[in-house]
Amino acid sequence: MSAAAPTGGGLWRVATTIAWRSLHTYVRRADLFVPSLVFPLIFLASFAGGLSALGSVPGFHFPAGYTAFQFVFVLCQSAMFSGLFTGFTLAFDFESGFARRLMLAAEDRRGIALGYALVALTRAAITFAVVTPVALVAGMRITGDGVDIVGLYGLAALLVLVGYGWAAGVAFRFRSIQAGPLMQTPVFLILFLAPVYVPLGLLKGWIHAVANVNPATAFLDAGRGLISGAHNHTALAFVCAIALILLFLVWLLRGLRAAEGAG
């Protein structure tokens, strides 16, 4: 879908124009919309269903059950991927020329970065709204209270911004979808070198050492603690997420300056 670049206006006008245009395109294109919903459901079915026997291994104790244990991973993965794929959209918009017109037309170019951040958060909200009921129908139990669940989805929202901050910084620097592998490889590594299938205490060897210092471990532990009501590393996870957002905000804004300099 083509759209004219917004002219004039401040940060919020630019941001909302971009968000509306990108989300309108997203929900109208099945090749974008359907995979973003299908992939989390496949992971949920594969991990929570196909690997459910892992919930009975010695030493595995999780009050809410294995489906909830894996749902937290799928939620965190979906959150970071929503940010990551929005970075892909930004890179594609540079290739198509739309983002370059934005750079010329926008008075406050930070609104461009903010607009795509709003897109990432809204995409994630749509995915969460589909995956959560499916998990509940599949038998997921939630033993945390309402405050815990708000905390769980609040953490997921922060992870959207973590994924987006990294990917958008890359997109602004390279301005090409060819940079996609550079965007996605670190996200895959940080997620899958964490305790995905069993708790950290059951991991052995080098994977335990890596997972022990991986910030994604804190995210998963905190999310699983919130959904079960048995808090674990909650404060650490929020501190890590906010620290990464601030770090990637600097990365993103410097990338924006690079894009401005490239013309």
pLDDT in tens, 90-107: 999 999 888 888 888 888
CA-based angle 188:189:191, to the nearest 5? 65
Decide which of 140 and 3 is more confident.
Answer: 140
34 class by beta-carbon count within 10 Å (0-12 exposed, 13-18 middle, 19+ buried): exposed
Structural domains of the chain, count: 1
Domain of residue 91: give its range. 11-262
The predicted pLDDT at position 2 comes to 44
Q: Which of 25-29, 37-41, 63-67, 152-156 has the lowest mean pLDDT?
A: 25-29
Mean of the per-residue pLDDT values of the chain = 88
Q: Fill in the amino acid letter for 182.
A: L
Q: What is the pLDDT of residues 152-188, one digit of tens each?
A: 999 999 999 999 999 999 999 999 999 999 999 999 9
Q: What is the rounded CA–CA span in Å between residue 203 and residue 211? A: 9
In a domain, 86, yes or no: yes
CA distances from residue 17 to 4, 101, 131 in whole angstroms, order as listed: 10, 13, 28
Contact 132, 142 (CB under 8 A): no
pTM for the full model?
0.90
Q: What are phi and psi of 199, to 5 degrees?
A: -60, 160
In a domain, 1, yes or no: no
In a domain, 5, yes or no: no
Q: What is the pLDDT of residues 199-229, one digit of tens each?
A: 888 889 999 999 999 999 999 999 999 999 9
In a domain, 4, yes or no: no
In a domain, 6, yes or no: no
In a domain, 248, yes or no: yes
The predicted pLDDT at position 17 comes to 85
Contact 158, 245 (CB under 8 A): yes
Count CB-CB contacts under 10 A for residue 231.
15
Decide which of 247 and 29 is more confident.
Answer: 247
Rg (CA), the chain: 19
The full DSSP string for 38-101 is: HHHHHHHIIIIIITGGGGGSTT---TT-HHHHHHHHHHHHHHHHHHHHHHHHHHHHHHHTHHHH
In a domain, 160, yes or no: yes
